[in-house]
């Protein structure tokens, strides 16, 4: 073997040992907190298209999540959200006088995680969400409720062993030419 291949082999072995040691440290003991809660704000974007017409609104939500760590790298979560800001629908960029809001949204997710050291963790979410959309103009309210598969990705940055900040992107609804996507900023606490 050449010096370069010996060096590369030694480096790969060292990385493998370090990764295994890190993973072993990450294995959850029975005293590690398994339950966690998150609260934060989400900015959504509702988009609907019908031929040449395109409608858009950006309501805001207060979002709460309760999760349980099943294994070190997999959790199950329940999520609820409610309206904190309605937005006027724009049709092809023009104001319509019709407001859109999400009175409530509930979801159930599986959340696999990938730690990147002790402070940072990447995650994905996949599950199902039931969303209620309400449109209102001039005292007339129209609402509709729909269920859809949902998915997203995010990052947790640990502030301490029991608290963290989170940024995420989620696709909550994508059916019948209607999309509901959003970004969120959360504070999380492990119990």
H-state helical runs in the chain: 3-26
Q: What is 46-72 written as a DSSP string?
A: EEEEETTEEEEE--EEEEEEEEEEEET
Looking from the CA of 104 toward its CB, the CA atoms found within 13 Å total 4
According to DSSP, residue 29 is labeled: P
What local confidence, expressed as pLDDT, does residue 24 receive?
Answer: 46
Which residues is 148 bridged to in the sheet?
Answer: 129
- Could you read off the pLDDT tens digit of each residue along the chain, which spans 191 residues? 445 445 555 555 555 444 444 444 454 555 678 999 999 999 999 999 999 999 999 999 999 999 999 999 999 999 999 999 999 999 999 999 999 999 999 999 999 999 999 999 999 999 999 999 999 998 899 999 999 999 999 999 999 999 999 999 999 999 989 999 999 999 999 99
Q: So what's the pLDDT on residue 109?
A: 98
pLDDT at 54: 95
- pLDDT for residue 110: 98
pLDDT at residue 20, as a whole number: 44
Cβ atoms 100, 83 nearer than 8 A: no
Cβ atoms of 166 and 40 closer than 8 Å: yes
Other beta carbons within 10 angstroms of residue 109's beta carbon come to 21
For residue 140, what is the DSSP state? E
Q: Evaluate whether 12 touches 6 at the Cβ level (below 8 Å).
A: no
């Amino acid at each position: 073997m050449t010096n370069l291949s010996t060096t590369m082999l030694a480096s790969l072995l060292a990385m493998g040992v370090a990764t295994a040691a890190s993973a072993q440290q990450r294995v959850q003991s029975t005293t590690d907190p398994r339950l966690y809660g998150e609260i934060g704000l989400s900015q959504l974007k509702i988009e609907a298209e019908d031929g040449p017409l395109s409608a858009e609104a950006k309501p805001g939500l207060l979002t709460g999540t309760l999760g349980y760590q099943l294994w070190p790298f997999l959790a199950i979560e329940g999520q609820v959200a409610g309206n904190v800001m309605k937005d006027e629908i724009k049709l092809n960029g023009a104001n319509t006088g019709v407001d859109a809001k999400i009175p409530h949204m509930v979801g159930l997710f599986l959340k696999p995680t990938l730690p990147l050291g002790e402070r940072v963790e990447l995650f994905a979410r996949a599950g199902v969400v039931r969303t209620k959309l309400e449109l209102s103009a001039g005292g007339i309210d129209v609402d509709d409720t729909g269920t859809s598969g949902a998915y997203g990705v995010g990052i947790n940055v640990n502030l301490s062993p029991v608290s963290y900040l989170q940024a995420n992107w989620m696709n909550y609804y994508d059916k019948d030419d209607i999309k509901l996507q959003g970004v969120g900023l959360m504070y999380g606490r492990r119990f």
